Chains A and B, each alone.
Chain A
Amino acid sequence: MNIVAELFVVTFKIMWSLVLAGAKWFVRPREKSVGGQVCVVTGAGSGLGRLFALEFARRRATLVLWDINKEGNEETADMVREIYRKLSPSEESSGIAQELPLFQPKVYAYVCDVSKRESVYSTAEKVRRDVGNIDMLINNAGVVSGHHLLECPDELIERTMMVNCHAHFWTTKAFLPAMLELNHGHIVTVASSLGLFTTAGVEDYCASKFGAIGFHESLSHELKAADKDGIKMTLVCPFLVDTDMFKGCKIRKEMAPFFPPLKPEYCVQQAMRAILTDQPMICTPRVMYMVTFMKTVLPFDATVCMYRFIGADKCMYPFLAQRKESTNNNESKTGI
């Protein structure tokens, strides 16, 4: 094709996608149904993973929960069962549901250390045997070491990278082939705002989250290049979430009202909306898009100036200090 004509077509397509993106502001796209679909959630034993599991359970998805912590995982499974119990009576009482083959969603819990390749592959094999093919993969498991780079034991750095970053290789490789065959599936990466911009003192965590996003983007382009339109990808980048993971992290006092720590429930609800409407990326809160954009436009000095104004450049220092203190008192479990 003539290059000029092609350029014209591409420009038009870009304009069109902008229009479509704009239209989504006014007409909310319909959420897809996940009823009866099989969802794998890694790191389901606590925090965001647990909330994701519960949200999917409310939408009647079959859940496969992975976590390294057996107790936490079982607890989530119990909560999911409770939700299923509440769901089923309403289904029986309504006439329409009875005509359909009555589907009872189930929950499966597995203990799995996502940082270990063999553990992921063998657990995935078990899932395939027990449940069958999966439709959704939520890569959520994450850890933070909470030490300055120079004080951090090497094993913890490695662990952060292995859980937050390398685990995506293994989980995705385990489930992607079946998805490719059917040209159907959805892969969700739960990263962090720290995967879009960084802050001082948590080099390893930032590196692992940037890596996760790099992986996600490269994979989504790969799927696009292979014309596998049926496999959707969603990147979830929440700002500081009010779970225990980053306890103590503080931005500048005066700016804090503008960037409040997110309620985990709110964050998961927003993420669920994005996932169910096949949105490629979601940052919560929205102001993060702005920060990311500013970062690409401004020269580095100005970015630093912006960070300092918000107080984001050193926001992890109180968290690190607190971590250190609690490690000295042997209170915290390091690494998990």
Chain B
Amino acid sequence: MMELKVLGCAMLFPLQIFVCVLRAAVRLLTRQKRRDMGADVVLITGGGRGIGRHLAKEFAKQGAKKVILWGRTEKCLKETCDEISLTGTECYYFVCDVGNREEVYQQAKVLREKVGDVTVLVNNAAVVHGKSLMDSDDDALLKTQHINTLGQFWTTKAFLPRMLELRNGHVVCINSILSLSSIPGAIDYCMSKASSYAFMESLTLGLLDCPGVGCTTILPFHTDTEMFQGMRLRFPKLFPPLNPEMVAQRTVDAVRTDTAFVVLPWTMHFLVILKSLLPQSALEEIHKFSGSYTCMKTFKGRT
């Protein structure tokens, strides 16, 4: 009897996979139900500039009730906040370094008292040192780890329990395609982003049975912000740097449709598939050809 059941499961399995693939294809083609953002309180870390700033604007545009910005530089936060307040959405900002655990917990408490419960948490804050391992400073390596990876742990720990209680929430992570395919010269960034990707994947799997709470991870290619300024790929026509506005739009849309993983642009899927198929030496040739071995040489981004 037991064997029969197992056999049945095994027979059904390819069919199930097929249905899943089909459903994913249908989802791509048809318009689906979108989450109404009207009651959402959105927290964006690193919201002062770059993708974070565009995200804040996009969330406001899509009708979020309140937008809260966290960041390290008050000037940028204030600018973004003013800009959003002009459009009529309630916006607040707090200075908070997500790499500092105590500060995150304390600011989370302040936030809860002053503004209310956060329902959409966007982990966007990130830094990049952009040097090879031997040229990197020890503290800079750690700083990247603390902000890009551990910061996400602390913010999630601070806000997720309440989301689970309310059965309403969404955890978003702005990751990078470098988490799945590393390049030389940004070892700190690749490592921290890979960690953060794993964290999100594990969390997504864990939250599958929690109704109302979802996760979204965005894996964009090189985006045209000041963070990765100077990075130059060999075929800019073929793989142009992404527009941060577009990344923000796609992110908000993924949150509203409760999509778990989004790779931008979609052609990067091929890179990931190739990586899992080809032997290392072949992969190195591709990297060399595409110029990813030299792209960080011209890097002069803000750290």
B24 touches A302 (CB 8 A): yes
Contacts of A200 in B (CB 8 A): 202, 205-206, 208
Considering only residues 207-254 of chain A, those with a C-beta below 8 Å from chain B are 207-215, 217-222, 224-226, 254
A10 touches B286 (CB 8 A): yes
Say how far A17's CB is from chain B's closest CB, in angstroms: 4
B138 touches A173 (CB 8 A): yes
Q: Which residue on A lies nearest to B181, using beta carbons?
A: A217
> Is B94 an interface position by the 8 A CB rule?
no
A298 touches B205 (CB 8 A): no
> Is B61 an interface position by the 8 A CB rule?
no
Say how far A11's CB is from chain B's closest CB, in angstroms: 9
Contacts of B5 in A (CB 8 A): 254
Instruction: Give the CA-CA distance A167 to B124 in the complex, in Å.
Output: 25
Instruction: Give the CA-CA distance A142 to B144 in the complex, in Å.
Output: 21
Which residue from A13, A150, A225, A296 sits with its C-beta under 8 Å from B285? A13
> Is A304 an interface position by the 8 A CB rule?
yes
Which residue from A172, A208, A296 sits with its C-beta under 8 Å from B272? A296
> Is A186 an interface position by the 8 A CB rule?
no
Contacts of A7 in B (CB 8 A): 289
Q: Which residue on A lies nearest to B160, using beta carbons?
A: A150
> Is B246 an interface position by the 8 A CB rule?
no
B156 touches A149 (CB 8 A): yes
B198 touches A177 (CB 8 A): no
Contacts of A68 in B (CB 8 A): none
A301 touches B191 (CB 8 A): no
Contacts of B133 in A (CB 8 A): 169, 172-173, 176, 218-219, 222
> Is A309 an interface position by the 8 A CB rule?
yes
| Interface band, chain A | 35 or more
A302-325 vs B, CB cutoff 8 Å, 1 = contact: the mask equals 101111010001000000000000
B16 touches A309 (CB 8 A): yes
**What secondary structure prevails in chain B residues at the interface with A?**
helix
Instruction: Give the CA-CA distance A198 to B292 in the complex, in Å.
Output: 27
**CB within 8 Å of B: which residues of A?**
6-7, 10, 13-14, 17-18, 20-21, 117, 148-150, 154, 157-158, 161, 165-166, 169-170, 172-173, 176-177, 180, 194-195, 197-204, 206-215, 217-222, 224-226, 254, 280-281, 289, 292-293, 295-302, 304-307, 309, 313
Contacts of A301 in B (CB 8 A): 20, 23-24
| Interface band, chain B | 35 or more
Contacts of A215 in B (CB 8 A): 187, 190-191, 194
> Is B84 an interface position by the 8 A CB rule?
no
A211 touches B198 (CB 8 A): yes
Say how far B44's CB is from chain A's closest CB, in angstroms: 21
B153-187 vs A, CB cutoff 8 Å, 1 = contact: the mask equals 11011001100000000000000000101111111
A201 touches B282 (CB 8 A): no
Known: A201-B202, A302-B20. A214 touches B289 (CB 8 A): no
B194 touches A214 (CB 8 A): yes
> Is B273 an interface position by the 8 A CB rule?
yes
Known: A173-B133, A299-B20, A304-B208. A220 touches B154 (CB 8 A): no
Instruction: Give the CA-CA distance A157 to B198 in the complex, in Å.
Output: 14
B141 touches A169 (CB 8 A): yes
Contacts of A13 in B (CB 8 A): 282, 285
Which residue from B2, B186, B203, B281 sits with its C-beta under 8 Å from A218? B186
